[in-house]
Amino acid sequence: MTARQMIKVLIADDHAIVREGLKQILADTRDIVVAGQSENGVDTINLARKGHCDVLLLDISMPDRSGIEVLKQLKKEFPKLAVLMLSMHREDQYAIRSLKAGASGYLNKQSAPAELVNAIRQVASGKKYISLALAQELANQIGDDHEAPLHESLSDREYQTLTMIASGKTVSDIAIELALSVKTISMYRSRLLQKMKLRHNAELTHYAIKNHLVEE
């Protein structure tokens, strides 16, 4: 296979072990080559701007900005870039939010190597990739005739704050992890509580568990 036919992949993940694992999986393929790697959102955007990749493997949890923010920025600049979101999160709200933001697919990091390779080839050909679990989730949503759940009205940052608080993290913990001020995270918390008509963290956590937004 010629270099022109090779699928050039950029890996964006803040964990070196994950990046090396993905590179190892792709090293066993004849039609996919890793053209670069990055560990944060800013580097990812800069590398993508150099135009050396066909598919971007993008972690949804980046240290400086969320993967969905990076996705939205890149889709504005490069509408045809195939972006495959990778995450440890369940294939529910983050997957749907990613697809709405322009992702070509969404894959859980615990997926089998063969599924990753198949997903890369599929999005590189211009198609969308979703797992059977996500396809079922989307089908269920289409079939629902009741009102959308309250958490779907949240912005990406508000939703991220919701899941992190429900996972037991404090406002200070979240501020450090997202590289934002405590004041900003507190603002997101206030907004999401108001939008969802909740009074405090205990109600927020109960809601998140009841709606399977976090693991019990």
The pLDDT tens digits for 91-100 are 566 788 888 8
**What pLDDT shows up at residue 100?**
86
Residue 108 clears pLDDT 90, i.e. is over it: no
Average pLDDT over residues 43-52: 90
**Cβ partners under 8 Å of residue 196, min gap 6:** 150, 151, 153, 154, 204, 207
**Cα–chain center distance at 23:** 19
**What pLDDT shows up at residue 148?**
67
150-210 fold:
Arc Repressor Mutant, subunit A (1.10.10)
Is pLDDT larger for residue 114 or for residue 215? Answer: 114
Distance CA 159, CA 150 (A): 11
Residue 216 clears pLDDT 70, i.e. is over it: no
What is the SS3 assignment for 35? strand
Q: What percentage of the chain carries pLDDT values higher than 70? A: 90
Give the model's confidence band at 141: pLDDT under 50 very low, under 70 low, under 90 confident, else very high: low
Residue 90 clears pLDDT 90, i.e. is over it: no
**What pLDDT shows up at residue 2?**
47
Distance CA 21, CA 89 (A): 18
**What pLDDT shows up at residue 1?**
45
CATH architecture of 7-140: 3-Layer(aba) Sandwich (3.40)
Q: What is the mean pLDDT of the chain?
A: 87
- As annotated, the residues of the chain forming the CATH 3.40.50.2300 domain(s) are 7-140
Is pLDDT larger for residue 139 or for residue 173? Answer: 173
